[in-house]
Amino acid sequence: MDEEEFDYEKLLDTAYDSLPETMKTDERFEVPKVDVINEGKMTIIRNFAEVCEKIRREPKDLLKYFLRELGTAGEIDGRRAVFKSKLSEHQIQNRLNSYVETYIICSECGRPDTELIREGRILMLKCEACGAKRPVMVRKAQPQTPQKAAVIEGNTYEVTIESVGRRGDGIAKIGKFVIYVKGASKKGTRVRVRIDKINGTNAFGRAVP
Ligand SMILES: [Zn+2]
């Protein structure tokens, strides 16, 4: 019995030894944590360059992704990234997690040792660890239905008051979000609303000039 187990272990060792170097580390890849601060209406990722180095992607590519997904303007500033709207660390971390899932992790072996290559017009993710190759599934921009991050706390949006709630708040819609607008009780009017709080797909804000 013992001997059989021993042999099995040995077999495993041999199999293990013949694996490519990159597959030997079985520590799970962890998405780097973003270090975010808010300065007035700006949001700064203080460790942007470091994050890019850890995930081995070009800073300009990750920036482009963030700007698109977070619906904001921004730029690289030395080793930091600066966004021109107020975003939470949580929002940015969520986007980074999605980026890693889409553009980094091999769907076959789960390793992050991948590179992006172009095959004609298709962007492919090639895994250096197991050799798997898959097209990168990039969500198509849908102008009619804004993405999840379309409504962001602290941002201001222009909306049309579609109805008025029982408590006198205006109700508007942005994509799948229902926006409750304090101080806008006239149906059909176009108002600017500043979002104070988001709860699921409900957003609460007030009319601003
Ligand atoms: Zn792989």
For 104-116, what is each residue's pLDDT tens digit? 999 888 889 999 9
- Superfamily classification of domain 148-208: Nucleic acid-binding proteins (2.40.50.140)
Stretch 109-138: mean pLDDT, rounded?
89
- For residue 54, give the H/E element and its range: helix 48-55
Is 22 within 8 Å of 129 (Cβ atoms)? yes
**Ligand 1 geometric centre to CA of 103 (Å):** 13
**Ligand 1 geometric centre to CA of 133 (Å):** 8
**Ligand 1 geometric centre to CA of 130 (Å):** 4
**Ligand 1 geometric centre to CA of 115 (Å):** 11
**Residue 19 pLDDT > 60, yes or no?**
no
What band does 145 get if pLDDT is binned at 50, 70 and 90?
very low
**Ligand 1 geometric centre to CA of 134 (Å):** 10
According to DSSP, the β-strands at 202-208 and 190-199 are antiparallel
Mean pLDDT across the chain:
85
Structure tokens at 188: 């059909």
- For residue 140, give the H/E element and its range: none
pLDDT of 146-183, one tens digit each?
Answer: 445 578 888 899 999 998 887 788 999 888 888 999 98
What does the buried/exposed string (b/e) look like for 16-29 if buried means 16 or more CB atoms within 10 Å of the residue's CB? eeeeeeeeeeeeeb
**Ligand 1 geometric centre to CA of 21 (Å):** 13
| Site of tokens 């990039």 | 138
Distance (Å, whole) CA 63 – CA 96: 10
- 3-state DSSP assignment of residue 124: strand
**Ligand 1 geometric centre to CA of 16 (Å):** 16
Distance (Å, whole) CA 9 – CA 205: 62
Sheet of 133-135, strand order: 114-119, 122-127, 133-135
**Ligand 1 geometric centre to CA of 176 (Å):** 36
Residue-range domain boundaries for the chain: 22-135, 148-208
**Ligand 1 geometric centre to CA of 111 (Å):** 6
At residue 20, the pLDDT reads: 54
- 3-state DSSP assignment of residue 146: coil
Distance (Å, whole) CA 182 – CA 57: 43
- Name the nearest CA neighbour of 96 among 55, 127, 125, 156: 55
pLDDT of 44-71, one tens digit each?
Answer: 999 999 999 999 999 999 999 999 999 9
Structure tokens at 134: 């898959």
**Ligand 1 geometric centre to CA of 25 (Å):** 13
At residue 144, the pLDDT reads: 42
CATH topology of domain 22-135: Defensin A-like (3.30.30)
**Ligand 1 geometric centre to CA of 53 (Å):** 20
